[in-house]
Structure 1
Amino acid sequence: MQTFIMQKLLLLISFLLSLFMSAQITISGTVRFKNKGVKDISVTLKNTYDGATTDENGKYSFETSEKGNHILLFSNPKFGEVEKTITISNVAIEANADLKEQISEIDAVVISAGSIEASDKKRATTLLTPIDIYTTAGANGQVTAALETLPGVQKIGETEGLFVRGGTGTETKFFMDGNLVNNFFGNSIPGIKSMDRLNTSLFKGNVFSSGGYSAVYGQALSSVLALESIDFPERNSIDLGISPIFVNVGFQNVDDEKTKSFGISASYSNLGLMTKVIKFNNNFTKAPESFGTNFNFRIKNKNGGILKYYGSFDTNKIGLQEESLEPNIDFDNTNLTGQNTFHNLSFKQKFGKYLLNLGGSYTFNSNIIDLNSIEQNIEINPNTIQVKGNYFNAKATLERKINKISAIRSGIEFNQTNETTEVALSPNAIDFKDGITSVFAETDLGFSNNFSAKVGLRTEYSTAVNQWNLAPRLAMAYRISKNWTSSLAYGIFYQNPENRYFGSSPLNYQKAEHYILQLQKSEEGRNFRLEAFYKNYADLIKTKALGYRPVAINNNGDGFAKGFEIFWRDKKSIKNIDYWVSYSFLDSERNFQNYDQSLFPSFAAKHTLSFVAKKFVTAWKTGFNVSYTYTSGRPYYNFTTDNNGDYHLNQQGKLKDFNALNFSLNYLPSLGKKDAKAFTVLVLGINNVLGQKNIYGYQFSNDGLRSRPVLPSTDTFVFIGAFINFGIDRTEDAINNNL
């Protein structure tokens, strides 16, 4: 009896199993993207556990016992989801799918030809953060000095400014939160390079464009540096810095919700002590001295809008005596007294899909230069030149998001300049006024994650030039493979002649056309860039000597700059070491200003090489930083004038190659102490460790028969300082950004 029951039970199980097996229906197919099979695509019956993943050929197959109408779902983060309705009966089903790319702000290719971005944005390319700047040996905490280690930027030691791809220092413009910063550098006298006026710690990031930049910016023939200030401090803090050169103190207050903050700081510097300790190549009658103070506040409204204000005032003095190159004169004396005030206000607010940016800046600058000569201990030929300027900038930009990676923006900008030059030996003051109105529009077009474009147009009207211009901009980027991208940029750029050149002759805009091609490989911890460029100059000014100053007579100058650049940054290959290498090759000629023929510019070098390396040794609580810069010898020229004031090349030559090895270390004595009440950094920096005898150029007598070299203020400079922060522990920042 039991055997019979067992047989019946087995027969029933077999029958049920056969019914179950016959109910299993196979669903299979191929998933393609642009006619190619795609692997790792999830294929599932919606609201069931049945499904499969595609293989390398895009094929999939699975079985299901479901019946009736169902939805077959194809999904992958890189592609848009596809749904297909199928009816499951008793026959196998073949269901194929063609995918569309999922547009992603993170995955989308970034246009980066001519641009290096360092910010808190996810789409940043080559990073040069504030910590990077502070820990770059030889940069002395200055943004512009750190940028000189990047490709395309020339190492110029005798005057301030960013000299980019064969352009003069005045061809680069600076912006803070979108607003123009006039007089970005401190007041200076010829041959003595002044420092950045704005403190690096103000900013959370920057975008440095060495060409082909956005239509949002104008009046720059070569490049722009757009600095973005921090939104809110991390917490309440007091900062103190002290060294033999300067002392500064600052205070920041922020509420717990980070909706309001304000801060104030002051600093005083005097190089007098260092002139007694270190041998300087300059004979200072008044060691460089300055005092500055600034105030800031930030307010965030309930809708997320942020209002930011920054204001500063500084004054500086310097006196210099040099042996005269003119016969019967023993010494030439130059004394400078400078004053500057700067105010910057910006507001940013989102309204749904729209982003509104409003801002303005105001600068007042005064420069008084006293000149005299000494002959047999008697002062002769006294003269005073005073330049006062008021500069105002206002800008409004409205941006609308079209989708995740596409947008359109437009705006308007006003610049007003009022400048007065008074010369003691001249009975009449020279007044210069200019108002520039600019209108711009630009669109970011994200066609796919692998292809994007930026198209822009800018037009400007200047009252000094009394003309409109029209400047189109175009850039495209295409991802070649997972890590390799290419970018192409083109643009026309206009810039007014410098204010000091305006006189009786009518002048036009100066013009430059940029062509840039870039190939970039980016992966975790490594970045490689190869960039080729061509820059064509037209309508550059030509000058002649008129009294005490050169005056522009027309816009008949021209020129070109072409070359290629290589950049490699690596944080991964060598354990705990971050380093980058940049090389630039430049071929350039110009016939402009006082040049009487096309010449390689005296402010440019054919070959520039920079190397920067950083390592933080946690056990020693110390960061070690080194940098090296090499530039091939720049040319120098001596032009003399005839009775008509026309210039003629009288003498030319080539400087010796420039070499400088710099070293710095940062010691954190409070590292690892949980009860430390202050975060302290002790800094030692040595510029030009090996004491190379570098020369920046030559000064010539009026008749061209005598000359002297233009030298650095000191061959080797040593800096020692302590920076103490009460309130914020930046230990992790200091360590992580040096690894």
Structure 2
Amino acid sequence: MKTLGQKILLLIFFLAFMMGYTQIKISGKVIFKNKGINEVNVTLKNTYDGATTDAQGNFSFETAEKGTHILTFTHPKYEEVEKSINIDSQEIIVSVQLKEQISEIDAVVVSAGSIEASDRKRATALLTPIDIYTTAGADGQISSALNYLPGVQKVGESEGLFIRGGTATESKIFMDGSLINNYFSNSIPGIAGRDQFNTSLFKGNIFSSGGYSALYGQALSGALMLESVDLPDQSSYNFGVSPIFLSAGFQKLGNNKNYSYGASAGYSLLSLMQKVFNFNTNFISAPQGLNSDFNFRIKTKSGGFFKYYGMYNSNTMGAKTESLESGYDFALVRLKGQNTYHNLSFRQKFGKYLFNAGTSYAYNRSDLKFSTETDNVESGQTRLLTDGNYINFKAVLERRINKISAVRGGFELNNADEKLSFEAVNKHYKDLISSAFIETDLGFSNALSAKIGIRAENSSFLDKSNIAPRFALAYRFAKDWTTSFAYGLFYQNPESRYINGPAHLGFQKSQHYIFQIQRSSEGRSLRFEAFYKKYDDLIKTFTITPGKEQNQQILTAFSNDGYGYAKGLELFWRDNKKTFENIDYWITYSFLDSKRDFLNYPVSLKPGFAAEHTLSAVLKRFIPEWKMGVNLSYTYAKGRPYYDIVTTVDNATPVNYIRNEGRLKDYNALNFSINYLPNLGKKGAKAFTVFVLSISNILGSKNVYGYNFSVDGSRSSAVVPPVNTFVFVGAFISFGVDKTQDAINNNL
């Protein structure tokens, strides 16, 4: 019994000792901006003791430790905090306030006026190369695919991006930071030129419909910044064949995967399709073109890149239309065009600095010949010959301040040398635009950021300078919801084609105000944007008519007295395979209210290139068991206004007036395409084939783009598409590369 009593007494003393040793309670609250934070890990450093905060930020745990210890507070979205405590015999109460963990991934990004598709924002990417190739009606062209985004007007008779009430020349396109002066091919009046650059050359893009960065200039309305690919995944050979073109190319990747080079060539001819379809345009010489390009890319040992891209294109075509002038049966126009473009860029990190430099050279030659035909006899030939040489150089140095803040600055030189010869007009236009800029990204928190910049330019031709501030602010006010505001001042030289005589001209100017609300979650994106643009100092022109054909009229600038505005609302919704299995779709709506008094407009008018309402829808359905992608797109645009404006002379002063005006019928087009991948699913296949069937305007809507008028205004003819409905069939084959998984992942 004595032994048992001793054991019981010993056990009581041991339990009392242990209870006294483990009864120290540590509790408290973790807050951020006076609100409790849940799921914060609270741990006694170098022990297993700790707890996790509840929804109100409270925590509590007990420990048997004694003495001085470190209490740690960790959460992925907040900076880690360590607090020293002394554990003795009394309960410890600790209150801690955390600071937000600044993260490049979580930080809100200014997005007012811009839509980005690049490797940096792949989760919300818009219009990647796969998007463009699989958008029905886009014909694989970047510019055509952008017509299905808010802010871009559908203008079929002329190439270019018509953005929010701006002309095509008021938007600019850049490649790796350098200006592309000849992005579109040459064409004849009434027929839009095509993209001259291969869509697969670019890995991403930033399309800005206003309020863009101070790194870019000379664009009153908007900008498209294209980013070329770095190195291919592996070497490959590619072939394309269809009734209208043949193409071939290759990409060779170095053994150490630190360099690559490639080339491609293609030939196109539309004559076969003329025999199949009933064309609206009477091509006396079917459109044909020859294109080629070469590229190389070198990766430096420290991760930098040299990139070179060069291309050469030539194209010809000729068309005949019924003459609007009495005494002539037909009007004829023939084109010979040549283009070349070279782009060299360098990107390299030097410690905390990132250096980007690039230079480009472009040459463009357009040789147009106009004539008339009467009783099968051609006569009265006139020639419009233009030659342009363009050199661009740009350098940007950037330094990161922290994870979400940076400052960058640099300079740009843009030299233009153009010659024009037409009837009595012969000119040689030269201009060097020198620019300097500085811009900073300021990340105040993961929920608030700003972009502030300023750009200064000088034009040697105008002998004038300007200073343009830019500002943007973004704020995340709820989970997945952000709002942005952007303001900018933008300048642009008058178009050289209107400078046909002495004139005291200055920069044209626009101011942008943009407000956006956006909700982005995985696979879904909703954007609402309101904008106002004010245009000042636009050029005014009067008309010179050397000959009788309307195409021979030229405009000559005489002042900067023009002005205008554009305001509107835009909506964009995209659902990428989240609601419906294997279905990606997006819907856009744009409302535009715009007026201008510029060029030869006698008063302030709604521009002839601006539709009040535009609605677009794109749908893509991938059917894995059929190895097929089915794509639809639809565009509706309210009928645009048209004007017949002529010049008279009143007391030796040119005066413009409207002789005829009206409104076009509403634009409608439903497009359809199918992509069939016969070897999809064959793992390790060294040949990859895609068959494409595309039908543009499948319902055959008879759309009208505008009207041409005779010199006396008594006769007119509609400007219509070359063909109402067009069918394209082609095959694209790649050797030496297995694209099966890419096709599955991207739902080709």
TM range (shorter): over 0.9
Secondary structure of the residue aligned to 2:153 is coil
Amino acid at match of 1:58: G
Alignment of 1:30-429 (within 5 A): 30-122=29-121, 125-423=124-422, 425-426=423-424, 429=426
Partner of 1:660: 669
Alignment of 1:275-674 (within 5 A): 275-423=274-422, 425-426=423-424, 429-502=426-499, 503-548=501-546, 549-571=554-576, 572-643=578-649, 644-674=653-683
Greater Cα shift, 309-318 or 20-29? 20-29
SS of equivalent residue, structure 2 residue 11: helix
Distance in structure 2 (CA, Å) of the matches to 1:707 and 1:124: 51
Uncovered stretches (5+) of structure 1, i.e. residues with no partner:
none
Per the alignment, in what secondary structure is the counterpart of residue 5 of structure 1? helix
Aligned with residue 723 of structure 2, among 704, 714, 727: 714
Which residue in the other structure is 2:8 paired with?
Answer: 10
Deviation of 1:650 after TM superposition, in Å, equals: 1.3
Preserved CA contact (<8 Å) 1:578 1:738: no
Query: Quick one: distance in 1 between partners of 2:3 and 2:203?
Result: 82
Q: Report the Cα offset of residue 378 of structure 1.
A: 2.6
- Which segment drifts farther, 430-439 or 675-684? 675-684
**What do you get for the CA RMSD once the two structures are aligned?**
1.1
Distance, in Å, in 2 between the alignment partners of 1:125 and 1:621 is 26
Kindly state the Cα deviation for residue 591 of structure 1 after the two structures are TM-superposed.
0.4
Q: How far 1:194 moved relative to its partner?
A: 1.2
In structure 1, the partner of 2:690 is 681
Instruction: Verify the 8 A CA contact 2:474 2:483 in the aligned structure 1.
Output: yes
C-alpha deviations, 1:325-357, integer Å up to 9, x for none?
Answer: 111111111000000110000000001110000
Amino acid at match of 1:555: N
Alignment correspondent of 2:709: 700
Cα distance, 1:14 vs structure 2: 2.3
Give per-residue Cα distances to partners, 1:592-635, cap 9 Å, x unaligned: 00100111111010100000011111110100000000001111
CA distance in 2, matches of 1:380, 1:590: 39
TM-score by length of 1: 0.98
- The structural deviation recorded for 1:732 is 2.3
Cα offset, 1:124, TM superposition: 6.2
Q: How far apart are the structure 1 equivalents of 2:637 and 2:16? A: 84
Give the letter for the 2:249 counterpart: G
Aligned residue type for 2:640: R
Asked if 2 retains the 8 angstrom alpha-carbon contact of 1:241 and 1:723, the reply is yes
| TM value normalised by structure 2 | 0.97
CA distance in 2, matches of 1:512, 1:667: 46
Corresponding residue SS for 1:6: helix
Once the two structures are TM-superposed, the CA of residue 736 in structure 1 deviates from its matched residue by 2.3
User: Is the contact made by 1:640 and 1:703 (CA closer than 8 Å) also made in structure 2?
Assistant: no
The percent identity for this pair of structures is 59
Does structure 2 conserve the Cα–Cα contact (< 8 Å) formed by 1:328 and 1:375? yes
Give the C-alpha shift of residue 9 in structure 1.
2.1
Deviates more, 1:368-377 or 1:140-149: 368-377
Which stretch shifts more, 196-205 or 701-710? 701-710
Letter in 2 for 1:651: N
Whether contact under 8 Å (1:116, 1:125) holds in the other structure is no
State the SS of the aligned residue for 2:484.
strand
Mapped partners of 1:490, 1:632: distance in 2: 29
Query: CA contact under 8 A between 2:123 and 2:522: conserved in structure 1?
Result: no
Amino acid at match of 2:428: D
In the alignment, the residues of structure 2 paired with residue 107 and residue 677 of structure 1 have an alpha-carbon distance, to the nearest angstrom, of 40
CA distance in 2, matches of 1:89, 1:675: 67
Aligned residues: 735
Counterpart-to-counterpart distance in 1, 2:591 and 2:3: 94
Counterpart residue number, 1:724: 733
SS in 1 for 2:744: helix
Decide which moves more: 727-736 or 382-391: 727-736
What is the deviation of 1:675? Answer: 6.0
Q: Are the equivalent residues in 1 in contact too, given 2:686–2:737 (CA < 8 A)?
A: no
* C-alpha displacement of 1:127: 1.9
Contact residue 30 and residue 58 of structure 2 kept, 8 A: yes
Contact 2:232 2:253 in 1 (8 A): yes
* Cα shift at 1:22: 1.4
What CA distance in whole angstroms lies between the structure 2 residues aligned with 1:640 and 1:674?
A: 66
Give how far 1:126 is off.
4.5
Question: Which amino acid in 2 is paired with 1:661?
Answer: L
Give, in angstroms, the shift of residue 547 of structure 1.
4.8
Rate the CA distance shift 1:235–1:123 in 2: closer, same or farther, 3 A: closer
Contact 2:646/2:657, CA 8 A, preserved across alignment: yes
